Structure 1
Amino acid sequence: MAETIRKNGNQLYRLGKLTEEAAGVEYEKAAALAPNDPTPLSNLSSVKFELGEYFNSAKYINKAFQLHDTQDKTEASERKEMMLVERLAKCLYSRASTNDILAAASGQDASAHRMLMLDRLPRLMTNLDNLTEYYAIGHDSCSPQDSVALMFCGSGDARNVFTTLVMMGIEEVMQKKQLCKNLHITLVDTNAAAIARTLIFFEMMAVHMVNTSLGTPALTDSGAILAYLYASQVVPAAVQAKLQLHIRGLIHALTKVDKPPQDWLYLPPATRTAVVHVLRRWQDPPRDSSYSSRAIRRTTSIMYGHDRRREPEPGFELDRKSFDDFGVVLPSKGFAERNDRPLYVLMEEYRTGSSAAKQKLAAHIDENWVTNVTMIDFDYSEARNNANDPLYPMFDDEAKVPSIEKVSRAKGALESVGDFLETTAMMIARIAGANRLIVEARVGEMTDVMERLRWDCLDGRSPSPDAEINPAKFPRKYDRIHMSNIPDYIGGLFPVAMYARPLLREKDEANLRFTVLLNPPEFRNHKDFQSEYLVLHDDNAIKNHFAMARIPGYTKGVDNPEGYSHLDSMDFVTEGYIVWQRCAFKKLARGKDLLARPALEKWLHAFFLKICVPFPRSTVTMSPVYTPLNLTAFVRLVAHLSGIGYPAHWLSGILSDLCSGTIKTTARAPRAVITTPEHIDAANPQVEMSTAPWAAELSTLVSIWSPLLKFGLTVPRGLLVAPNEIAEYSVSFLHLRDNSQLRLPHFVLVFWKAPKGGAAPPPGSHLSMPPIFIRRQGLSQRPSKDSDRNKQCQIHR
């Protein structure tokens, strides 16, 4: 009877039915009926092993060993014992993290190893441009927050930061109470110019509040000066003089003084250095005619003037006319009379409609006004040979100029922006004056900052007990994370789930948000968006695997243009910010939350193929869908899945197969620019597929990553390599003939071995077409066994 029941269990096991009233139950019945037979116990150990319950599997193995010891030895019993020995070894190895094993063997430190990886392994496909693009004026809508720990990534012109401070201050005034005890804001931007520009405004706002408290005459024009610097590409000489005064003060504070410019402001050392470099370039800009006020004014007037696609809002009519005529917004009469009397006279003549006066006024602007240097990253512009590329005029973003409930619109564009910035200054003074505000400004790539912060290896966060601000006390979790449209360029929803979500505080209202600006017409709905970037479209599956849930979107209501209407099934292109709320992290349960093993293999194989064999992308489309992830994303995903409960041997088996060069899979590489739910869910027959072109790179990465994995890797001998067998190479490219596509990560680096392949193909052939933008495959090469030293080489750049 025990043998019959055990065979029933075997049938259930082969069908993958391991839990509940399945194979495990049958084996337990068989073990109870035949207490001296080790076979049911061996079967139970196999079930527990497959479920990832390695401790319980080892327990049943040890019981089976005891019964084997009491029986006569036969060839069959010894063969079964050896199978149990191998399974026990896998149990023990899978339960121990690779870090524990290596630390015991070599004393390696996981934190130091992670820091080396973050410093040296790129997380995205390499491109050929060493400089980050700079947008001086943002193009996203303002979104007020009210939490105590906020992160703004791609902070840009800081409009969302300023709006947050304004809305919080207004709310506190209305409610007559503090909304929070302390407010910490972390600003992150990949370009130092954006951080430098924000610091200038912080400094000018602080001086404005001092002038306000003293009632000094300088207060009269501070709003206009702030507005010109914030939103205009060409400014009066008086504005330039004030700007240079503050630039000199900031450089002194950041280089000569130990204290930050404001006692609520913190910049880590590397950010200070980068910001000072930008400030010095703004202090002494190039004397190139392409940067002259005349060149900038005329370029912007041609590009953006006489734009009749939308009429100016009430109060902006005169500003629109002056911008159409001159490419600048003229100041108020009072500002002109106080700071430039000839300008005041010419403005009065111009208002009469005189064409001669218009020409004189244009000449006066060219001679006396200057380019707003804070809108130019000179390093970037000089490298791109295009001085005008980063400049965006006020009216290009007219509808998104920050304001408080459209207050002061009747005054004009400058006054509207000036009122907003003066109000921001007042609210900063209110919050900072009560020692409740800390602003941490960082130059860095968003996901790099996030990952370093998560693992406590972010520079400038070490204890400083003697400093007025101790960065070691800064929060490592946030109530809100605002990412603008950065995900458009770095992998969409994947970096949001992998890097941003772990930084949310574990409370219900914590959430993160981003907007899709680069390519919304490419997606029919959120299912398409999730499929393209996660190769996972089911909302519940995303919730289980990444502990976040999307809040249904909002868009402008047709019936109520000033309000918002809730839409569950909206066109993707109409949605504003996409908001994902945190859910509780949990270990996933087998049979309920975890994917079945075949489904997990299909998902990971599809994710791998999407990275390695992307569908060809057009380089001239107006809504590009980038595929920048490299294979480090795949390894990170596997490490994450281990942490939420997937059995170690499942993941180890997937890595082993991919690194060995052959997989059997039902997954397929992308068949279109957008991976859709239909493509993911397609029932494909299983085929054998070669992964050999990427095996060297993946095995190199897995070898590097192994000290940080939370499980032991059971892979064939020789598949992984020791760190001293890995070589890193750097390749520089000079004088590329097409600079317009340097930022696209779509190229292949070909190594040509002349002795075996003959002379290299001549320039202009299919192997060296300018530019080479087919696809960078993370090219790696494993030398032949008879080489002087069997090194495994990974090309990073």
Structure 2
Amino acid sequence: MSQDASALKERGNELFKARKMSEAASYYEKAEKADPSSPVYPSNLSAALYEAGDYLRCVDAVLRSWKLLETCPEAQPDLVAKLSIRLAKALCHGVSARAITHDLVTRRQDEICKLQDCATKLPAQGKTKKPDEDFTRVWDEWIHMESDLKSYDEKREACLRGFSRLPMFCKPLAQEELYFSIGHDPIIDLTAGWLNHPHPLKIDALPRDKLSELAFLFGGVGDGRHVLATVCGLHAAYKQLSKAKQRSFRAHLTLLDIDHSMLARDLCMLLLLHQLNSTSNTIIRTEIKATLMYTFIGAVMPPYCFERLRTIIGDLRRRLTATPPELPPWLHVVPESIPAIIKTLEHWSTLKKSTSRTLENHRYMSKLNPPDVSRMGADELRRWNMFMTQERESTKEFLHSARDADLVKIGVIPETVPPSRRRGYLLENMESVVDDYQKLYPFGQVRPIEDLWYQELKVLLPPEELRSRHPGFDNAWRTIVTQKNLDRTLRREALTHINEEWKPNVTLFAPKYSDPKRYPGGDGYPPLDADVLETAACIDLFNRRTGPNAHKQARYSIWILASEACGAFFEETAAALKALADRITLEVLCGGLSEELYKMHVKADTARSKEFPRKYTRMWLSNVPDYVHGPMNTIVYNIPNVQDDTQAALAFNCLANVGAFVDDDEYFHTYTLLTPPEIRRYMGCQVMNPRVTTEVAVLRPLALSRPLTELATQDELKTWLTRVLFNTVLPARSKMGMSKVHVPHNLVAFFGLLLYLHGVGYPSHWLCELLARILSGSVHSDIAPFRGEYPMPLSERARRVQPRRVRTDPWLVELETIIATAYYALPFSLAGAIPDDFSRDPRDIVVWGVQVKPARLFSTQSMFNPVSPYDFRTHLLFYRSDLMGPPAVINHLASIFEGKASPAPGTFFILTSQEHVQYETSIRFRLSRRRVEKMRKEKWSMVAYRNDSGHQATVPVAIEHWALIADSDGDFGLSESGLASRTVYESALEELD
């Protein structure tokens, strides 16, 4: 051993002990070059490469070391044993991670076999005796993999497709259809950024190959306002390009929503825009723009607009039922989405509803009006009164500081008051002047005249060119303008015309409103609580984004009219669609956001056209993350679909429960168990803007895979994943109403996280070792699941309990389903960790169905219901009914997790994922066919229950009533030193020589 080589090795050892594996490997490589005759240097190199997850180079280094030992292996039997075990492990993980190919194994088969054979025959010596059990286990694992090596290539994509079909969320006990027909976001043009977070997309700076890959996703797309704005933004950018770049320009917009009624509504709007581009007749164009406005934000509409909308609905049905669909060349509807959309169109085409009843159900929720204090609780009322007191004081300060002439101009001092008396008039009448000012300028905003009109009649003022068609409207409008209110006669005349001639906006009526089971207590009319003029004001703000009034607030003038703002917006959008007709595609896709994006990620989106993008330049997710486990789900299932470009990103806001969180850190921690700065190191994602509780969250992917030195350590990773796992299988309770936090991730999502983390750069064996402990049936840890109410405080991060062994056996059967489904696509080798009775065949996992009856009925009436059937809280319990009843598990699950011995392992299990749940009628789930056949010999039953309150939802169903309904488609976490007697790296250090 040369002196230089020895010194290099020692430096490498120091770096190895410091967990700097890549740097250690570079010193071992230098040592090997300095002394190529010693097997120690390539052996140490292979140890560092293995720890770094570089399995291909590890195998090569092992075989170089073996070549030097081959002539006299008995001289260093312990080194031979280490090399042999390391080789088998590296081969297993390398093949699983697709780093080692079948061809490479074939090419080096002779060397691999010789090392294995020699290690088998040689006795180990000294303190580092070869652990025979480990040796046998890892080589048995490799032999098993090698015998089926081709399947890892041939079946990988099928397994990924199968995994993409597994539900990542717990189901609700009953399916609720949410229909948010009229949006409330300010208008967002994704080429400009996100709300108050400007981030202009420099399209002109893109190379030509990138110009043809512009792609934007909107999920859920909602009423499509951001799509239309982005089309306008793309058109503006297109006009600035050179002719050569214009020829390369292509843009794709995916309009994704889980609600088919929402997409049907958007398609009607798009066809109306197409119709607008098909005529030059001024009156017809005005009618079409009015129809667009009333469809977009109106509760009811004039008869001529209703006829146009009804015609469009019929035309859209005809177009979608044609083969292929007869749509404008820039519009595409994914075939699988068409049947549900047609169902909604058929519902609208036959709908007969009363205009007066529709308006009775419409509550104008103007932000310019004070809220209904009768609905407030004591604390909320106290805060409101304090706010109004402060608002009045601020108004008084403003009035004191304003010039008298300005106060006359804005209408709070009458013009008849002489100039010398104006200041005295103000001081003498301060309280009434404050009242007048706050009526004219509520909360510092200008109240448009149309707001007063809408409060009287609850309809949008028709465009001036069409107003003469409406008896009494001209007189009513002039009176509103001059007197700021309507007398009884004018109001009655206008309302009589509206109730007798106008028609309801049928696109606001989702089918669920006519279904008493899904909308109990309803009368077939939707609750229309909306500030429709706020949307008009947002559109006006967007229209003047580049003009002299661009920086003025949304409601800056009393003369803003919805018809003028909407008319200009739809004119610009239609012109943009016409100009970009052969340069743009709008794709309509019905489905869950993360489910559809993950299918794209694993190329299981077979219903989409092959040329459609799977990665996007920018995404707007609205507040969908509020319902689907927040940024944890977004990072794992959405971020991989963002293009690898510095300008690419996704954004979302928080609306459903923003008041629940103390701050942004608590928001991110509740869902991810990390703070925003930690997300980069743990999850390989950059949080560009974390201010989700006050603005929007903006995230972008980092280049993957990340260097191991920039990621969490193995102990940190295990601690975090332990917390994630424990809080997945035993989720905490949540508050009610607007403070309800939705955390529906199940074990499928946990596995999805592991697959994602491998792509981030974590070595396969790190993830495998973690799963092996779980699959053993118990885990030693000082971490406990959160048992409070969400949101989860940051103090929970540091909470530890006395180390103990917790049970994971209740969830092993579900892990069997997941592992068997994804087996050949798993990027880590579990062959040696899987229990003997586990299936490894994806074809063995099938869907079972049962007819169920409710054990109790859950109220669907109030958002403040602590046990709503619409909460994503369903777990399924399977148990030996001859040994126990459901309460023995459901009521004591926390104690069972903590180590309670009874009920015994193997006598019950839990599924956190379900294919379908309707607790009053039927449930579907996936299980191994082979396992169910074995269970039939015993008295197994199944019930559904809530995973937070423990309420049993269904009557037990015995196994003889389960039916096969579909074949298959295709001691851990101790982060503090001293808590564990033996750390991962202490084991790794023994690999050095």
2:882 equivalent among 755, 765, 769: 755
Counterpart CA distance in 2 for 1:261 and 1:593 is 49
Aligned mates of 1:531, 1:278 — CA distance in 2: 39
| Offset of residue 158 of structure 1 | 0.9
C-alpha distance after superposition, 1:586-633 (max 9, x if no partner): 33334x223222111112111111211222112x23122111111112
Residues 700 and 794 in structure 1, CA contact (< 8 A), matched pair in contact too: no
Query: Does residue 343 of structure 2 align to residue 196 of structure 1?
Result: no
From 309, 312, 316, the equivalent of 1:250 is: 316
Q: What are the Cα deviations for residues 687-734 of structure 1, in whole angstroms up to 9, with x where unaligned?
A: 433222222222431232221122322533535423355453334556
1:359 matched to 2:480: no
Q: Which stretch of structure 1 is more off in the superposition, 633-642 or 151-160? A: 633-642
Q: Does 1:51 align with 2:52?
A: yes
**Matched residues in 1 for 2:831 and 2:754: separation?**
15
Structure 1 residue corresponding to 2:167, chosen from 106, 115, 122: 122
2:250 aligns with: 182
Q: CA deviation at 1:142?
A: 1.6
Q: Does 1:450 align with 2:597?
A: yes
What is the rounded CA distance, in whole Å, between the counterparts of 1:223 and 1:40 in structure 2?
77
| CA–CA separation in structure 1 for the residues paired with 2:49 and 2:8 | 16
Cα shift at 1:418: 2.6
Q: Which residue of 1 aligns with 2:559?
A: 410
Checking the alignment, whether the CA contact within 8 Å between 1:228 and 1:414 is kept in structure 2 is no
TM-score normalized with structure 2 length: 0.66
Q: Does 1:391 align with 2:528?
A: yes
Of 812, 818, 822, which aligns to 1:695?
812
Relative to structure 1, the CA distance from residue 90 to residue 233 in structure 2 (aligned partners, 3 Å threshold; closer, same or farther) is same
What SS does the corresponding residue of 2:589 show, helix, strand or coil?
strand
SS at match of 1:424: helix
Q: CA deviation at 1:349?
A: 9.2
Query: Mean alpha-carbon deviation: is it higher for 620-629 or for 1-10?
Result: 1-10
1:168: Cα distance to partner? 3.9
Is the aligned partner of 1:206 residue 2:324?
no
Q: Does the CA-based 8 Å contact 2:780-2:804 persist in structure 1?
A: yes
Deviations 1:287-336 (A, max 9, x none): 4xxx4222220121487799445867799644323332333234356424
Among 741, 749, 757, the residue aligned to 1:633: 749
1:243-322 superposed matches below 5 A: 243-256=309-322, 258-285=324-351, 287=352, 291-301=353-363, 307-308=369-370, 317-322=448-453
Question: Kindly tell me: are residues 651 and 175 of structure 1, through their superposed partners in 2, closer, same or farther at Cα, counting changes over 3 Å?
Answer: closer
Structure 2 residue aligned with 1:706, among 803, 810, 823?
A: 823
Letter in 1 for 2:356: R
1:730 aligns with 2:868: no
Q: Which residue of 2 is the match for residue 557 of structure 1?
A: none
Q: How far apart are the structure 1 equivalents of 2:72 and 2:97?
A: 37
**What secondary structure does 2:734 align onto?**
coil
Superposition pairs of residues 745-784 of structure 1, within 5 angstroms: 745-751=872-878, 753-757=880-884, 777-778=912-913
Identify the residue that residue 586 of structure 1 maps to in structure 2. Answer: 704
2:298 corresponds to 1:229:
no
Equivalence for 2:694: 574
* Contact preservation (8 Å) 2:513, 2:525: no
Check whether the contact 2:313–2:345 (CA below 8 A) recurs between aligned residues.
yes
Give the secondary-structure state (helix, strand or coil) at the position aligned to 1:52: coil
Q: CA deviation at 1:482?
A: 1.1
Aligned-pair CA distance for 1:271: 2.0
Deviations for 1:494-516, whole angstroms, at most 9, x for unmatched residues?
Answer: 23222322222222111111111
The residue type paired with residue 643 of structure 1 is: G
Distance 1:115 1:349 in 2: 64
Residue 301 (structure 2) pairs with residue 163 (structure 1): no
SS of structure 1 residue aligned to 2:829: coil
Give the match for residue 674 of structure 1: 791
> What count of residue pairs does the alignment treat as equivalent?
744
Contact 2:255–2:588 at 8 Å: present in 1 too?
Answer: yes
CA RMSD of aligned residues (A): 4.4
- How much does 1:154 deviate? 0.9
- Once residues 305 and 142 of structure 1 are traced to their aligned partners in structure 2, the CA distance between those partners, rounded to angstroms, is 17
Structure 2 Cα separation of the partners of residues 684 and 551 of structure 1: 35
Residues 479 and 510 of structure 1 are in contact (CA less than 8 Å); yes or no, is this contact kept in structure 2? Answer: yes
Deviation for aligned residue 1:284? 0.8
- Contact 2:306 2:505 (C-alpha < 8 Å) held by counterparts: yes
What does 1:546-585 correspond to in 2, within 5 Å?
546-552=683-689, 573-575=693-695, 577-583=696-702, 585=703
**Aligned position for 1:559:** none
Encode CA deviations 1:221-270: one digit per residue, 9 max, x unaligned. 33322211111111222221111111111112222363532121111211
Distance of aligned partners of 1:515 and 1:789 in 2 relative to their CA distance in 1, 3 Å threshold: same
Give the Å deviation of 1:54: 3.2
Closer, same or farther in 2 for the Cα pair 1:184/1:791, shift >3 Å? farther
Stretch deviating more after TM superposition (445-454 or 7-16):
7-16
- Matched to 1:512, the amino acid is L
For 2:860, the equivalent position in structure 1 comes to: 739
* Contact persistence 2:252–2:586 (CA under 8 A): yes
Deviation readout 1:572-596 (Å, 9 max, x if unpaired):
5322x2222343x233334x22322
Distance verdict in 2 for CA 1:303–1:296, change over 3 Å: farther
- Find the residue that maps to 1:573 and give its secondary structure: coil
Tell me if 1:141 matches 2:186.
Answer: yes
Q: CA separation in 2, counterparts of 1:28 and 1:50? A: 18
Q: Which residue of 1 aligns with 2:636?
A: 498
Q: Which residue of 2 aligns with 1:564?
A: none
The CA deviation at 1:402 is 1.7
2:238·2:249 contact (CA, 8 Å) conserved in 1?
A: no
The one-letter amino acid of 2:358's match is I
The residue type equivalent to 1:95 in the other structure is: G
Structure 2 alignment gaps of length 5 or more: 103-144, 192-202, 204-213, 372-437, 545-553, 862-867, 894-909, 915-925, 946-993
What is the aligned partner in structure 1 of residue 968 from structure 2?
none
Determine the C-alpha separation between the residues in 2 that align with 1:738 and 1:750. Answer: 22
1:188 Cα deviation from its structure 2 partner = 0.8
The alpha-carbon distance between structure 1 residues 318 and 530, as it changes in their structure 2 partners (threshold 3 A), is closer
48-57 or 442-451, which deviates more: 48-57
- Single out whichever of 660-669 and 441-450 deviates more from structure 2: 660-669
Q: Residue 715 and residue 131 in structure 1: after superposition, are their counterparts in 2 closer, same or farther (change >3 A)? A: same
1:489 Cα deviation (Å)?
0.9
Could you tell me how far apart the structure 2 residues matched to 1:706 and 1:128 are?
30
Q: Is the 8 A contact 1:233 1:393 kept in 2?
A: no
| Distance of 1:353 and 1:32 partners within structure 2 | 97
Aligned equivalent of 2:680: 543
1:477 aligned residue: 615
| Match among 301, 306, 327 for residue 458 of structure 2 | 327
- What CA deviation, in whole Å up to 9, does each residue of 1:459-497 have, x standing for no partner? 3334xxxxxxxxx33333221111111111112112322
Q: Does 1:507 align with 2:645?
A: yes
Q: Residue deviations 1:27-47, cap 9 Å, x none? A: 9979999977x7787666544
Cα distance in 2, alignment partners of residues 436 and 30 from structure 1? 57
Q: Letter of the 1:261 partner, please give it.
A: L
**Alpha carbons of structure 1 residues 493 and 456: separation in structure 2 relative to 1, 3 Å:** same
Q: Output the CA distance in 2 between the equivalents of 1:414 and 1:216.
A: 15
**Match for 1:550: what amino acid?**
V
Residue identity in the other structure for 2:310: Q
Which whole-Å CA distance do the structure 2 matches of 1:364 and 1:765 have between them? 61
CA distance in 2, matches of 1:492, 1:235: 38
Residues 321-371 of structure 1 deviation map (CA, whole Å, 9 limit, x = unaligned): 333233323435642423x44776887899994424433433432232221
Check conservation: 1:135, 1:156, Cα contact below 8 A. Answer: yes
360-369 or 416-425: bigger deviation: 360-369
Once the two structures are superposed, residues 541-573 of structure 1 have per-residue CA deviations (whole angstroms, 9 ceiling, x without a partner) of: 5335544323347xxxxxxxxxxxxxxxx7x53
For residues 32 and 167 of structure 1, what CA distance do their matches in structure 2 show?
61
Report sequence identity in percent. Answer: 23
- Whether contact under 8 Å (1:549, 1:580) holds in the other structure is yes
User: Aligned partners of 2:580 and 2:171: how far apart in 1?
Assistant: 43
Where 2:616 maps in the other structure, the secondary structure is coil
Structure 2 CA distance for aligned equivalents of residues 143 and 155 of structure 1: 12
